[in-house]
Amino acid sequence: MTLCFATNNRHKLEEISALLGDNFTLKTLKEIGCAEEIPETRDTIAGNANQKAEYIWENYQVSCFADDTGLEVDALNGEPGVYSARYAGEERSAAANMKRLLANLEGKKNRQAQFRTVITLALDGVYHDFEGIVRGEILTEPRGTGGFGYDPLFQPLGYDRTFAEMPMDEKGTISHRGIAFAKLIAFLKSSA
């Protein structure tokens, strides 16, 4: 089965390709002739994942999947959510985003939060969503040098280390994205 992964992140593509095995061929956006930026204008994480998969299916008629992720903080009514990448502005700086998050949480007792990933699969024009959530808390200062984004501030429930203090494969087994991709892979393998 040939599928396009609607991402420009080469690292994500290689990782998923290895997990899917030989029955699946993953194509990049470039390989299907998509060089333009895919619109991501909806106001929910699931909406953006849906929008990206729909765009590829409708414009290229290639079965595909797309993912979208956000950090949802309880005391901030689910913010930054769909705006996680540009919380502190269009320059998408992880350091500035973390600074803004810490400022907005100052004085708040409840620091519980979750990462949510939604993957939309468009398989021959039929859409399926897969969700992964990991609960945790936002620390008062960053810890660790691994990972990316909000990782130095996020300590998953039941752990005494942040995502930025974990080896990548350990994070991958418990993370929002890891959970969502495991569901996608199980579905694809069962329908191959």
Catalytic positions:
68
Nearer to ligand IMP, 50 or 97 (CB): 97
Nearer to ligand IMP, 128 or 172 (CB): 172
Could you tell me the smallest distance in angstroms from the CB atom of residue 23 to ligand IMP? 26
Which residue of 156, 163, 180, 181 would you call a contact of ligand IMP, by CB under 6 A?
163
Q: How far is CA 69 from CA 108, 132, 159, in A?
A: 24, 9, 21
- Pattern 48-77, ligand IMP, x by CB under 6 A: --------------------xxxx------
Question: Segment near ligand IMP (CB under 6 A), from 15-23, 54-62, 143-151, 178-186?
Answer: 143-151
Nearer to ligand IMP, 100 or 128 (CB): 100
Q: Cite the DSSP H helix spans in 61-175.
A: 94-105, 168-174
- The whole-angstrom separation of Cα 70 and Cα 76 is 13
In the complex, which residues of this chain contact ligand IMP (CB under 6 A)? 68-71, 84-85, 97, 115, 147-151, 163, 175, 177
